[in-house]
Each structure stands twice: as C-alpha cells, then as structure tokens.
Amino acid sequence: MREFDEQSITQAVTATLAECDDPRFTRIMTSLVSHLHDFVREVRLTESEWFTAIQFLTDVGRTCTDRRQEFILLSDTLGVSILVITLNHPAQDGSAESTVQGPFYWEGAPELPRGSNLAEGVKGEPAFYSGRVLGTDGTPLAGALLDIWSGDGEGNYDMQIPGEARMKARGRIRTDEGGRYWFRSIRPTFYPVPTDGPVGRMLRKMGRHPYRPGHIHMIVSAPGHLPVTTHLFVAGSKYLDSDAVFGMKESLVAQFERHPPGTGPDGARLETPFYTVSYDFRLKPAAAS
Ligand SMILES: [Fe+2]
C-alpha cells in the first residue's frame, strides 16, 4: 500500500512514465505534471476553485464547433500561442515574422486570379494590396501562394455571421514570375475576439478588453521555403499597443495610404475613398531551418 502527501504525489505520478517508450512525450508529461502540481500547491487551490476550472474547460470544449475554436482562443488570450510561435520562429534573416493563426482560418479558400477582389459584397473601405514574395536573399519567388483571410470592415468574420454559409473576404493569390502579388480587399478594422463564451467570461473576470488591432491574415508559402503564418497590421489602428492575443509585431505594421474617390490601381472608378498598401514578404529557404 502506498499513500502520498502533498509533496510525494508529484514524484508518484511522474514515476508512472518509467515504461513510456516516447522520450519526448515523457519529458512533456513529466514537466506538465510537475508544474501543475506546483501551481496547485502554490495557490493552495480549493476544491470549489478546482471544480470551477473543470467546469470552465468543459465549457471551452462544448463551445467548439466546426466553425468556432474556443481552445485556440483560450491559448491566444493566455499568450500561449504567441509564445509557442516565438520559440519556433525566432525573428532572423529579415524573414517575415510569424504571428497567431487565430480561430477563424477556413481551409480551402478559392485560388483567384491576381487582382481579384476578395471582399466582393463585404462591408468595408476598399483597400488594394500589393507587394512581392522574396527569398531571404532577395530572390523573387514565382508561384508563391498567399492564403488570405480577414473580417469585414466592422470586424466580423464570415464564420461569425449567423446563417452565412459561404466564405467571405478569403482567397488564395499566387505570385507572378517576378514574385509580385496584388489583390483587392477591405481595410480591416479593430474587433473584439468572441466574448459570448467562456473565454469572454474569463477576460471580463481578468479585467481585460477583448480587442485586436486591425489586421489581415495570410499564410505565405513557396516551394522550397518555410511557410509563414502572419498578419499585416493597419498602422495607426486602435489597440496596436494592447492586442488581446499579444500577436502584434512591429515588423508587420503596414501603412494604408488613403486616397480620395477616383480611379483605383485596377483602373476601376471608386465612388468612395480607398486605400493602398504595399508589403514584401521574405521567406526562409527550407534547408536553413
Ligand atoms: Fe483576425
């Protein structure tokens, strides 16, 4: 018979991994159990607090659907997502920095011709995006793919709009032989992460606001290079200094230049003001990883 006190329980649990044949898993679980036990001891967790935590995690799971990922939101708002990204994608070589993917990626956006308007019928101020995808040595990367998504001009993603079954403000654009890309969408605005679920309750309890600065998402990839999951942030947007998911990187802040109504870069007449923004993404060769 073995019984454990508040210290010996930790070693008793980690010792159960002795037969595990996966060294990496053993290391992760040993550390996880040790830190978790230390945390419980440190705060002297009560039974009702423990049950509240169980209920919270249960709610987070129940809130997830094929359109909503509350666990990613929890990870994002606790800074875990950006910590994992920072450890795995250290900024170096002038390559484009990574940031959070967030909970609104929808796989399978259509590949569209360069110059397409990704945000046809979407509320928001028109914005024309252009730039190049390059290697870290400056070589233009032909055939690089930008998988792009954003909310509308009011900060709502298609997935969040009840009854909206179609993709909006999403698309994939490939670079030309000179590594150039261009497309039209909207200038994204700041928006709150979803606050109607358990993570929203957590943020309110913590005394935090739920806002993210305006940004457009992209996964940029090219043959023989490491893909990067990133954003372009709108310079001057509210909440650049207090992103609720800690994803802001200065190198990803882009100037959106405002133009009066007139002829846009695509030659079409616009009756409203519009914006232009230019940004080059540099990708690391896969072999350099
Ligand atoms: Fe976003």
- Alpha carbons 145 and 163: distance in angstroms, whole number: 30
CA 219 to chain centre: 10
Q: Is the pLDDT of residue 186 over 70?
A: yes
Predicted local confidence at residue 34, as pLDDT: 98
Which is higher by pLDDT, 161 or 127? 127
- Alpha carbons 12 and 9: distance in angstroms, whole number: 5
Query: E strands of 177-252, at which residues?
Result: 180-186, 191-192, 211-212, 215-221, 228-234
SS3 10: helix
214 Cα–ligand 1 center, Å: 8
43 Cα–ligand 1 center, Å: 34
Mean pLDDT of 7-25: 97
225 Cα–ligand 1 center, Å: 24
242 Cα–ligand 1 center, Å: 14
Q: How confident is the model at residue 263 (pLDDT cuts 50, 70, 90)?
A: very high
194 Cα–ligand 1 center, Å: 11
122 Cα–ligand 1 center, Å: 16
Predicted local confidence at residue 43, as pLDDT: 98
144 Cα–ligand 1 center, Å: 22
176 Cα–ligand 1 center, Å: 27
263 Cα–ligand 1 center, Å: 29
The answer to which of 32-36, 45-49, 162-166, 167-171 has the lowest mean pLDDT is 162-166
102 Cα–ligand 1 center, Å: 6
What percent of the chain lies above the pLDDT cut of 90?
84
Predicted local confidence at residue 39, as pLDDT: 98
User: In degrees, to the nearest 5, what angle opens at C-alpha 88 toward C-alphas 34 and 63?
Assistant: 65
For tokens 């987070």, the residue is 60
101 Cα–ligand 1 center, Å: 8
221 Cα–ligand 1 center, Å: 19
104 Cα–ligand 1 center, Å: 7
The answer to pTM > 0.85 is: yes
Backbone angles phi, psi at 254, to 5 degrees: -120, 145
Q: Which two tokens stand for residue 41?
A: 């001891």
- Alpha carbons 278 and 180: distance in angstroms, whole number: 11
pLDDT, tens digit, for every residue of 62-92? Answer: 999 988 899 999 999 999 999 999 999 887 7
Burial class (CB in 10 A: 0-12, 13-18, 19+), 167: middle
Predicted local confidence at residue 163, as pLDDT: 78
Which is higher by pLDDT, 93 or 59? 59
Q: Is the pLDDT of residue 48 over 60?
A: yes
Mean pLDDT of 10-36: 97
190 Cα–ligand 1 center, Å: 9
Q: Which helix (H) or strand (E) holds 77?
A: helix 70-77
pLDDT, tens digit, for every residue of 189-215? Answer: 999 999 999 999 999 999 999 999 999
Mean pLDDT of 250-265: 96
Q: Which two tokens stand for residue 183?
A: 């497309």
Mean pLDDT of the chain: 94
DSSP class of 117: B
Q: Which helix (H) or strand (E) holds 85?
A: helix 80-88
209 Cα–ligand 1 center, Å: 16
pLDDT, tens digit, for every residue of 131-145? Answer: 999 999 999 999 999
Predicted local confidence at residue 197, as pLDDT: 97
Predicted local confidence at residue 166, as pLDDT: 86
Q: Which two tokens stand for residue 193?
A: 């992460």
Q: How confident is the model at residue 161 (pLDDT cuts 50, 70, 90)?
A: confident
Backbone angles phi, psi at 127, to 5 degrees: -140, 135
207 Cα–ligand 1 center, Å: 22
What percent of the chain lies above the pLDDT cut of 70?
99
The domains found in the chain, sorted by start residue, are 1-44 (no CATH), 73-288 (2.60.130.10)
Predicted local confidence at residue 57, as pLDDT: 98
Q: Which two tokens stand for residue 42?
A: 């440190």
